């Protein structure tokens, strides 16, 4: 096959002093941080849909991106060729994982049987390229939101036949994910939500979603797929309200449906901010609940209220994300998947490199800063001291669940008013954080 990214070689680590825009300044894959190679901490993944399918169109204008390798057709040959281009890109970039939706990699046919056949043909090429390069599948997923049949949802569609179609599509997507050695499988509830409550039976839709995911767990066992299941929360867009609103909502839903041991969350930075949270908030809560799985690495725009999926470059965000991740023990099956797209104005193939290099360097800096914060331990010590009253005496009994309202009443009536808590030192801590960035 002809080289698609001509003139661009393997992206190398050249260090902070380099002025080469096509080199890493901070991401040095073999460098050890806390005794582990950066590549194994960060587990970078390329999102197939944005990187190789998206053309840069938006609601006001058509595609702008130059993709000289793409003949614009819906043929299997073009899809297979796109796979080879993708692996050339990932190999040159040094990304070790990728993620895809079924309909990104292979064209949708007129029937499900035809779509499955198309998928099988492209999976064959994906398998060959994985073997050739050693690049692995972080997770696979099914696109249950683009086709008009899913306009009213998939697992929460009011049409039982659409529910069945979605189940069959997910079953096939799980099978190919297994075939490709995928380490996970993601459920993003594309249109699982509503536009209007005037036409929606919410109780019934939530029950259907629970049933759908329970059947997916059953099928996973049936086909012996060992990957991790993820739910990707998002509060809105395309629907007004999406049922997988945020980590807290997803956890409640999993518990209510007996699924809390079968799923973790795949957290996306831009989805967190759409939900009115910081990215770190979502990571911290997921870690506290034991469901932190994987990350869709991107960022939103403070001035735009939708899912802009920009490449992550905010050093505070990347540092705080890595701080929470390291404190939680790091990724097991998950990774940092760049669910991000180049700007509509960034039209040349080389821009895909600039975008990913920037994201990888930003997270590498975040990782190093977070490791230093952990080594110095000043934030951890502050937090530990702040809760010291729970380490002994009555506080310890509260922590262990060994007391009751009666005892607490007697205790505090005898003791009198609590002493004022020491200063929370918000500004001092923020100033210290700045020293690490
Ligand atoms: C949409 C989104 C998806 C999921 C996979 O906002 O993030 O691309 O990551 O379906
Ligand atoms: Co995503």
Q: How does pLDDT run across 262-317, given as a tens digit for each residue?
A: 999 999 999 999 999 999 999 999 999 999 999 999 999 989 989 999 999 999 99
Give me ligand 1 centre to Cα 355, in Å.
18
Phi-psi region of 130 (alpha: psi -120 to 50; beta: other; left: phi over 0): alpha
Centre a 10 Å sphere on the Cβ of residue 314 and count the other Cβ atoms it contains: 15
Measuring CA to CA, how many Å separate 57 from each of 308, 343, 344, 366?
Answer: 12, 10, 7, 31
Atom of ligand 1 nearest to the CA of 145: 10
pLDDT at 175: 99
Residue nearest atom 7 in ligand 1 by C-alpha distance = 339
Which of 236, 339, 340, 341 to mutate to test ligand 1, by most ligand atoms within 8 A of the CB atom? 339
Residue nearest atom 6 in ligand 1 by C-alpha distance = 307
Percent helix, percent strand, percent coil in the chain, to nearest 5: 50, 15, 40
SS3 222: helix
**pLDDT tens for the chain, residues 1 to 437:** 689 999 999 999 999 999 999 999 999 999 999 999 999 999 999 999 999 999 999 999 999 999 999 999 999 999 999 999 999 999 999 999 999 999 999 999 999 999 999 999 999 999 999 999 999 999 999 999 999 999 999 999 999 999 999 999 999 999 999 999 999 999 999 999 999 999 999 999 999 999 999 999 999 999 999 999 999 999 999 999 999 999 999 999 999 999 999 999 999 999 999 999 999 999 999 999 999 999 999 999 989 989 999 999 999 999 999 999 999 999 999 999 999 999 999 999 999 999 999 999 999 999 999 999 999 999 999 999 999 999 999 999 999 999 999 999 999 999 999 999 999 999 999 999 999 99
| Neighbour-count burial of 410, counting CB atoms closer than 10 A to its CB (0-12 exposed, 13-18 middle, 19+ buried) | exposed
Cite the active site residues: 101, 104
Q: Please, are residues 46 and 83 in contact by the beta-carbon 8 Å criterion?
A: no
- The vertex-274 CA angle with 321 and 258, nearest 5°, equals 75
- What residues pack around ion ligand 2 (CB closer than 5 A)? 268, 296, 339
Residue nearest atom 4 in ligand 1 by C-alpha distance = 188
List, as own/partner pairs, every contact residues 212-218 make where C-beta atoms lie below 8 angstroms and the sequence separation is at least 24, other chains included.
212/155, 212/163, 212/166, 212/167, 213/155, 213/187, 213/257, 213/259, 213/262, 213/263, 214/257, 214/258, 214/259, 215/167, 216/170, 216/174, 216/187, 217/259, 217/262
Query: At how many degrees (to 10) do helices 349-376 and 76-93 cross?
Result: 40
Calpha distance 186→202 (Å, rounded): 23
Ligand of minimum distance to the alpha carbon of 274: 1
Could you tell me whether strands 263-268 and 336-338 are parallel, antiparallel, or unpaired per DSSP bridges? unpaired
Cβ < 6 Å from ligand 1: which residues?
A: 101, 141, 186, 188, 232, 234, 268, 296, 307, 339
Calpha distance 408→414 (Å, rounded): 10
Which of 53, 97, 103, 141 to mutate to test ligand 1, by most ligand atoms within 8 A of the CB atom? 141
Give me ligand 1 centre to Cα 197, in Å.
24
Q: Please, are residues 8 and 92 in contact by the beta-carbon 8 Å criterion?
A: yes
pLDDT at 1: 67
pLDDT at 285: 99
Atom of ligand 1 nearest to the CA of 337: 9
Calpha distance 380→58 (Å, rounded): 44
Which of 185, 188, 311 to mutate to test ligand 1, by most ligand atoms within 8 A of the CB atom? 188
Give me ligand 2 centre to Cα 270, in Å.
9
Strand ranges, E, within 58-117: 97-101
Q: Please, are residues 95 and 135 in contact by the beta-carbon 8 Å criterion?
A: yes
- Tokens representing 215? 């059947």
- Count of residues making up the chain: 437
Peptide bond between residue 238 and the one before it cis (omega within 30 degrees of 0): yes
Atom of ligand 1 nearest to the CA of 266: 9
Residues whose CB is less than 8 angstroms from the CB of residue 423 and which lie 6 or more positions away in sequence, other chains included: none
Torsion of CA 263, 266, 271, 275, to 10 degrees: 40
Calpha distance 87→76 (Å, rounded): 17
pLDDT at 2: 80
Could you tell me whether strands 136-141 and 97-101 are parallel, antiparallel, or unpaired per DSSP bridges? parallel
Torsion of CA 139, 144, 147, 153, to 10 degrees: -160
């Amino acid at each position: 096959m002809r080289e698609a990214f001509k003139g661009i070689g393997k992206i190398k680590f050249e260090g902070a002093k380099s002025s080469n825009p096509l080199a890493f300044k901070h991401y040095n894959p073999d460098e050890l941080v806390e005794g582990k190679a950066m590549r194994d901490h960060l587990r970078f993944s390329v999102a197939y849909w944005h990187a190789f399918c998206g053309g840069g169109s938006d609601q006001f204008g058509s595609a702008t991106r130059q993709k000289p390798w793409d003949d614009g057709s819906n043929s299997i040959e073009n899809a297979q060729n796109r796979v080879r281009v993708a692996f050339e890109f990932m190999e040159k970039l040094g990304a070790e994982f990728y993620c895809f939706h079924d309909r990104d990699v292979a064209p949708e046919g007129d029937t499900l049987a035809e779509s499955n056949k198309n998928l099988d043909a492209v999976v064959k090429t994906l398998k060959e390229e994985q073997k050739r390069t050693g690049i692995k599948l972080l997770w696979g997923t099914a696109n249950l939101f683009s086709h008009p049949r899913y306009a009213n949802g998939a697992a929460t569609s009011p049409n039982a036949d659409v529910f069945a179609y979605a189940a069959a599509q997910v079953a096939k997507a799980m099978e190919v994910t297994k075939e490709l050695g995928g380490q996970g499988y993601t459920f993003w509830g594309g249109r699982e939500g509503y536009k209007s409550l005037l036409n929606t039976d919410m109780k019934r839709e939530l029950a259907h979603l629970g049933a759908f995911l329970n059947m997916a767990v059953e099928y996973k066992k049936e086909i012996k797929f060992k990957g991790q299941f993820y739910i990707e929360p998002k509060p809105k867009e395309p629907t007004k309200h999406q049922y997988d609103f945020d980590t807290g909502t997803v956890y409640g839903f999993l518990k209510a449906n007996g699924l809390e041991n079968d799923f973790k969350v795949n957290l996306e930075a831009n989805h967190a901010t759409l939900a009115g949270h910081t990215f770190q908030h979502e990571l911290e809560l997921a870690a506290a609940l034991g469901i932190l799985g994987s990350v869709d690495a991107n960022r939103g725009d403070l001035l735009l209220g939708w899912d802009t999926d920009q490449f992550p470059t905010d050093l505070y965000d990347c540092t705080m994300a890595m701080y929470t991740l390291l404190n939680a023990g790091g990724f097991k099956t998950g990774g940092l998947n760049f669910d991000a797209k180049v700007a509509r104005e960034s039209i040349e193939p080389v821009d895909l490199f600039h975008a990913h290099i920037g994201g990888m360097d930003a997270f590498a800096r975040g990782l190093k800063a977070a490791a230093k914060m952990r080594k110095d331990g000043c934030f951890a010590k502050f937090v530990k001291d702040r809760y010291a009253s729970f380490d002994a005496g009555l506080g310890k009994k509260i922590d262990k669940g060994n007391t009751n309202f009666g005892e607490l009443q007697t205790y505090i009536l005898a003791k009198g008013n609590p002493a004022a808590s020491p200063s929370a030192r918000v500004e001092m801590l923020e100033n210290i954080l700045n020293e690490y960035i």
